[in-house]
A and B are shown apart, each in its own frame.
Chain A
């Protein structure tokens, strides 16, 4: 090109355009060639014999990475391939915002696809919720309500379709403002106080009020389970977090971060079902999508998990290592026939999506 005319604007323009396209091609090759992509690769060989779980992890990472392995026992759980998200911007929200509220759906799908265990998210509007909640839930049916406000189509002072659905075996994931406090009307901004709000009586239909408290907006101390399953959710809402000392009395399990005797994430059983309660605002959909995928993929959402070991490994760029492990299994909480031994590997770097769960039956 230059040969024809060494200094013409046309020739220089052509060179610039070609160089740009070549750079784009290089970027695409880096992204889509498995050997060149920055994705961590992992193979886990695991077996149970003589009351011990033992095996080898083979890990290779093209870039510097921090990984964590959780070995745990879990009650047999249904693999979840579909979750439901209530989303309707014609109804109000509190301690939430539409971008993150809706964004959770995209992030769950993206992260689970990336890991090869796809979970699809079905979005339900306020008008679709009554039909959904009046149908008996199949085991492992998950409804995410990230608005902090329930719509008046399913929840008012005199109507509650949500709690019976949970008691019937449904799994409710709650985020945003305190559960049961508000009943939102279409097109009407949220007000407090208001005679339309169920308030504390509404909350009592889901949780014992004595569980709620805390004064902090930040939860930076990571619990063992939160660390093992990479549930690093640091935000809280004052007076809306859960008391860690009282949770066991209600068969609850703290799985989130801790601050002053309270946790910002816990699993609280209700009838045959349970509420996975985020005591914090719906912010940072990227992180929330990752946390929810970890919960659903590993079976932690059942609340029936016993940790065996947690280990962390730091890999330098381009390194490949084999990590042997062997740990005794002396405790079979759910009966040998219905207990699984699982390994959950996760990359803990901020915004890294890698995660892999491998499970084998204990028997």
Chain B
């Protein structure tokens, strides 16, 4: 039996601590009851969003005396939990299904105020799914084809961490029910030859619309899920009910998010989702599942490993040593569980590490570990992409990783110090943002889609700081500006043209040239601006700390 309780009721409260004029819940919720008392938006009396209030429920059982009577009566009549004792299997399953459906309906109402934003966002995405394509997507399709024909996750020679090939396997095997795997791709010989002429990693084949739709459909729930977590986290700031919805809209309708997921088909949003989920679970005090979520994020893209110091800081802050240690153990156990599942069988990890460390220019976009530089010493390095961006030296490479590690550990300690005083949440998100920028420092190449990692924390940090709320929308466009300036994102739409017409050459040349430019151009603006951002964040935190000390004095 469960009950709902508002933590912070702003109006008059009934037996459940709910404003008396609010219509939920009209009666206690029972197992097998699909008709949860869903509040009607029109019943709001304080002008606030009911959806937002509904989220603020706790897991504590706080039944009133009246509830207890109803519960006892239900159990006596064989309703609710008591049905498990004597009912048949079928009725039990039926009750469970009704139960799940009821809860799903409840959640839909919880997020009701977002429905138009969700609808518009999905429509835009669906239109782009069919048409657009790009180089990475062809690699993903190739991996799916290889696995569908019996190969392993690393047979194609990719260097993505294991979780992503395993997800693509589901896409490929699912599609293979209707389409022969060879139909995921269409050959474009000119693309292959352009590789030699321009020096760009263009694929020798483009994806067909069917694969484009299937792969990007996989990304949609994570686009949406990350937005919903941002929405939930944003609700905790104060009673302003516009901002969380705007935060969700800025995420879900953001051209950067839409383009990365629905044009490029890059999966950065999945790891971002699990990082946010880990953060949410930590804030809810569930260290085990936070650890599992963080482990999933790390096996998708390696960069979240740099956020572990911050996660540990969240766990240990303000707790006794024994409690903090125990919770850290739960967090680590969670990470181990996800590792056991995602790195099985054992040779999967070794295959990944071989591909990750043995190929030229591999592994440079997942966390700064650039083992390849070991084997290229002492030569001038690889010439095709850029001589200026890359660190063809083991010393430089390790120094980058060391700087990033020291930075994120320092930032975690700084956050513990600052959060003793005030502005806990905003400081947390700014610390996470600064950690992400510290990661960018360690990467030989910052690709535009990597900016997705920073966007949620930028949004939440700005939203949680009153002085930054007005320009937060402007601030959130910084990554978008990087994207469009650096990569020429819309030009990727020309590659979609290649999928449907014979205009392979011009479209490929255009995208190749812009992509080539991006590798050279994106890094330096990111480096420059990230420097200023980190300095600004440090200044904000220092000012907050100073103000807090003054107040305390």
Q: Are A89 and B376 in contact (CB under 8 A)?
A: yes
Q: Which residues of B contact A30 (CB under 8 A)?
A: 169-170, 173
Q: Given A30-B173, A38-B147, are A7 and B107 neighbors across the interface (CB < 8 Å)?
A: yes
Shortest Cβ distance from B162 into A: residue: A24
- From A8, A66, A95, A353, B155 is in contact (CB under 8 Å) with A353
Q: Are B157 and A107 in contact (CB under 8 A)?
A: yes
Q: Which residues of B contact A (CB under 8 A)?
A: 2, 4, 29, 31, 36, 54-55, 57-59, 99-100, 102-103, 106-107, 110, 142, 145-157, 163, 166-167, 169-170, 173, 176-177, 180-182, 185, 187, 189, 192-193, 195-196, 199, 201, 204-205, 225, 232, 277, 280-281, 284-286, 289, 292-293, 296, 338, 341-342, 344-345, 355, 358-361, 376, 378-384
Looking at B293, B345, B376, B379, the one whose CB has the most chain A CB atoms below 10 A away is: B379
Q: Which residues of A contact B359 (CB under 8 A)?
A: 99, 102-103, 106
Q: List 27 A-B contacts (CB under 8 A).
A: A3-B2, A5-B2, A7-B54, A7-B57, A9-B55, A9-B284, A13-B277, A13-B280, A13-B284, A16-B277, A21-B296, A23-B167, A24-B166, A30-B170, A39-B149, A63-B149, A63-B176, A89-B381, A90-B376, A91-B379, A106-B157, A187-B379, A218-B189, A281-B196, A284-B204, A285-B157, A351-B185
Q: Given A31-B147, A106-B355, are A283 and B193 neighbors across the interface (CB < 8 Å)?
A: yes
Q: Are B192 and A283 in contact (CB under 8 A)?
A: yes
Q: Are B380 and A27 in contact (CB under 8 A)?
A: no
CA distance A63 to B524 in the complex (A): 47
Q: Are B156 and A351 in contact (CB under 8 A)?
A: yes
Q: Which residues of B contact A95 (CB under 8 A)?
A: 196
- From B163, B281, B344, A10 is in contact (CB under 8 Å) with B281
A181 contacts partner chain B, Cβ-Cβ < 8 Å = no
Q: Which residues of A contact B173 (CB under 8 A)?
A: 27, 30, 38
- From B54, B193, B360, A235 is in contact (CB under 8 Å) with B193
CA distance A26 to B181 in the complex (A): 19
Q: Are A349 and B232 in contact (CB under 8 A)?
A: no
Q: Which residues of B contact A38 (CB under 8 A)?
A: 147-150, 173, 176, 181
Q: Which residues of A contact B (CB under 8 A)?
A: 2-14, 16-17, 20-21, 23-28, 30-32, 37-40, 63-66, 88-91, 95-100, 102-103, 106-107, 110, 114, 186-187, 189, 217-218, 220, 234-235, 281-287, 317, 347, 349-354
Q: Are B342 and A24 in contact (CB under 8 A)?
A: yes
Q: Are B338 and A114 in contact (CB under 8 A)?
A: no
Looking at A89, A90, A114, the one whose CB has the most chain B CB atoms below 10 A away is: A89
Q: Which residues of A contact B225 (CB under 8 A)?
A: 16
Shortest Cβ distance from B151 into A: residue: A353
- From A2, A31, A91, B153 is in contact (CB under 8 Å) with A31
Q: Which residues of A contact B154 (CB under 8 A)?
A: 110
Known: A6-B2, A106-B157, A283-B196. 11 other contacts (CB 8 A): A6-B106, A8-B58, A10-B284, A10-B285, A13-B280, A21-B341, A95-B196, A110-B154, A234-B192, A351-B182, A352-B149
Q: Which residues of B contact A351 (CB under 8 A)?
A: 142, 145-146, 149, 156, 181-182, 185
Q: Given A3-B2, A6-B2, A27-B170, are A39 and B31 neighbors across the interface (CB < 8 Å)?
A: no
* A99 shortest CB reach to chain B, Å: 6
